Structure 1
Amino acid sequence: MSRRKQVTPPRPLAVGDVVAAHSVDLGEWTAAQVVRLNADSQTAAVLELDWSGPEPSSVADLGDVAPLKLTHHSWNGTLSFCNHEWVLPRSHKVIGATRLLHGGPANSWASGWHLGDQLARQRRWDRGVHEDPVVPWKVECTGEKVNELLSRPAAPRSEVMHLTIRDIDSLDCAQLVQRFPALTRLHLSGRLGLLSHADDLCQLISLQRISIVDLLGMTKEDCLKPLRVSELESVDLYGIPAGYASVMRKTWHPEIPAGTFVSIHRARKPEWVEENRNNPLRDWDGREQISATTYKRAVAQYRTTRRAVIEAFAEEPADTRPARMEEIGRFYGEAFNQLDQRSGFIETVEREELFEALDHIMNEAEALHGPSVENARGSLISGVESVRDW
């Protein structure tokens, strides 16, 4: 049975409402006004206010407020006005309503409300500080780096609240939680890497936002439990095991009216993982402008090109290999010309990914058969460039 589309925000929210939230960047509370609500896109157009101070209980506590105008970096006096998902985070509160401070639509979109971030940047800029400061509560690193850190005995780093880890091949969540026990935001992304002991993430009792992208290893038993991570207000999962996705969706959808935004997409079954682990175009599966048929044809062409390149490395004499690479490149470019003519799906991101797929093929061929002659890689790209329309 399909879910009935909501016509009002899951937490009470109306045009004109003033929302307050605590900002880590500012070290105090800040506020914003809801200017528009869109039921079709389920978004709220939110106008940040040029105010911060102690926790307010009503709009009157803000005094005379004005919209926040941005002049930092490349901003030229534009209002800090953006569309957000209309699920009001559970850490935010409506303190009343006032006349609309702006009447137009918002032309930008963001995931997460993050009130106070722009105001903090603007105030630093006004003081002449044009670089974002290094703060002890925010850490970004690679999976390799964090595993190196976790392998060495050390005291818990309770000062870290926001942690982003990229390019994860494997990660022990039990060790992660022991080292970073006070996290409020956790973003983990990988390349179909493995998370172990993911159930230990339930020990992060202050966690407000979690994002897991293209990582595996989690099971139904690893589901985050609302009674243990009761402050969680954003669950963003993408490219994760199907069983884990199912139980997380079932567990957290009832929490949406309490202020938890839930986005769970691209649940992966084991057979999909087996088929696509070495497929650099796997992110195209389910992408909005790419049909299932187009995706299958694209992957088939990628595999044809991969096979041709590896055969050329194995069988083609080194002195004639560049010419063969250029020929393979032309076939690749022409094949995707034909695919793109049908649906026009190749945009900037897809174009970059198609060239990255060629790099992936060349790296794999060189790993199997040794480095290519000097011009082989360039010849492959040259062949594509000579014919591509995308």
Structure 2
Amino acid sequence: MRLATRHGTRELMEYVVRHAFLHELSWQSSTVSELDFSQGNLARLNVHMAGVTYLKLNKVLLSLALRRAPPAGLRQLRIWGKPGMVTHLPATAQLKQLQTCAAQVPELSTLWMNSLPDDAAKAIKANVKPAAAQGLELYISKPPKPEWLAEHLLNPLRDWDGREHISPAHAKKAALTYKNMLAVTRSIDSAMEVTAAAAALEAMVTAYVDEFNKIECRTSIIETVEREEIYTVLAELLAQLGGQLGGQGAALVDEAALLDLFDRLREF
């Protein structure tokens, strides 16, 4: 559910934190300067930064947009993700007094990045090498590979984590099912025999459905939203695989048959 306000109050902020069904918030306030959504269930947050002096985010947040620049005198900026995505980072160059940040600014003295995508980490190291030679403190560690990003950052079932009616253990199992399917689709290429590809994909769909059947049998947590997500994740992954295989895609990936198999096997 989405909520938008231009006149946020402390009571409204507390309401957002208490109610897990609120997944998207657009916030602006002339009276509340310290925002704490750390105990909420927001997936998307859009904040007008006028008057904001403190902002604490929740762990399951997927998208953050900050409107209007932070105070011009800001000296330190730290951003964490679980993981997360940052866009429009060059805009931080407008913060002339910034000393510690993940960006190129005139007075930058420290650049610290953890779990940055591997290709981005290599590019940044190359671009800031001259500055590092002149004294810039550079720390870039644990750059994940594209495969890891697909399994975690881009995992469409990671949103289950933090839902009120779903335990962390079941959320983890749901995310793992997607990771397991990715492993199967990566093993299929255009040179593969049709029968071998069909067998691998049928086994993948069977294992995928079986895991959710077990979860539903034990806990009955799969509601309409989760049911649609489980189906959509499979349908989109099959369509993506078919597209990647080019001319052989239609022959190797029988989407209709595999989705029909999904419907016949599911018990949720």
TM-score interval (norm. to shorter): 0.3 to 0.5
> What is the TM-score of this pair, normalised by structure 1?
0.33
Structure number with greater Rg is 1
More strand by percentage: 1
